[in-house]
Structure 1
Amino acid sequence: MESWRSAARWLLAALLAAAGISHLTWGRRGYRIVVPDWSARTTGLSKDAIVVGSGVAELLLSGAVASIPRERSVGWLVAAFFVIVFPGNVHQWRTGRSAPMLRTDRARFIRLLLQPALIGWALWANR
């Protein structure tokens, strides 16, 4: 069982790193579409700053998952991040806006369904 958790942690770290890199590079412009207007107003940040901030957070979380194995608080932090970004995913689905790798309503809806799985994955892998 521990080897499964270890593999799940490394895969989660890789997923977070890839997402973080995409938020800071090739997908940065497209991800601004996903940021709801209310979040920019509420935080006082531009949509671009929110995208960059989420990319940096993903890279930091990736590093934590990879370098602090079996630390329960890391799993909770990653799960909390997935909860925090969920309104952006809902916004994207409701508005039908395309973003990198999410160009259809079906893809956007499946992304919503995957969010609880990501939360569970983060908690299970970092026990």
Structure 2
Amino acid sequence: MQQPQDQTTTLQKTFRIILGVFMIAAAVGHLSFQRSEFQAQVPNWSPLSKDLTVILSGIVEAALGLGMVFWKKQRIKVGIALAIFYVLIFPGNIAQYLNHTNAFGLDTDAKRLARLFFQPVLILWAIWSTGALSHLTKKFKG
């Protein structure tokens, strides 16, 4: 299936790149100096070790971040993939809240709860900034 012509605005492109850079930075943290912080977010019921989960998710974040910044021809697919990734890691955020686990300055239940409401913002950011939201809307309407 051929991607539509780039119909994103300059604002969307800017926010796509910002989100991509954010993901690349998060990947660097996953794979190096913030590994223990990210391990605090891995649910205890995860079948993989917490460290392996953090490493694998860091690799995925790096790929998605690079895709957001550089893979313009597949930007819609990358945006959808990133949105799905955010949905898949959401249980870790919930586990951090339910288990009262401190990480990334989230040292109160109120802060951990507030963070849960930011995940839908990231999902929307990923699909809006890549043009996936308008693409999907058009696809479902007609």
Same fold at TM > 0.5 = yes
Normalised by the length of structure 1, the TM-score is 0.90
Q: 1:29 aligns with which of 25, 36, 39?
A: 36
What is residue 12 of structure 1 aligned with on the other side?
19
Can you give the 5+ residue segments of structure 2 that lack an aligned partner in the other structure?
A: 1-7, 132-142
Deviation at 1:80, TM superposition (A): 0.4
CA offset digits 1:76-99 (Å, max 9, x no partner):
000000000000000001111011
1:66 aligns with 2:66: no
Structure 2 distance, partners of 1:59, 1:107, is 26
Question: Based on CA coordinates, which of the two structures has the bigger radius of gyration?
Answer: 2
CA offset digits 1:57-105 (Å, max 9, x no partner):
1111000001122621111000000000000000001111011232222
Cα RMSD for the two superposed structures? 1.3
Task: Give the length in aligned residue pairs.
Answer: 123
Normalised by the length of structure 2, the TM-score is 0.81
Q: Compare the two structures and name the one with the higher helix fraction.
A: 1
Can you give the 5+ residue segments of structure 1 that lack an aligned partner in the other structure?
A: none
- Counterpart amino acid of residue 51 in structure 2: D
% same residue: 36
- Counterpart amino acid of residue 119 in structure 2: Q
What is residue 52 of structure 1 aligned with on the other side?
55
- Counterpart amino acid of residue 59 in structure 1: A
What is residue 103 of structure 2 aligned with on the other side?
99
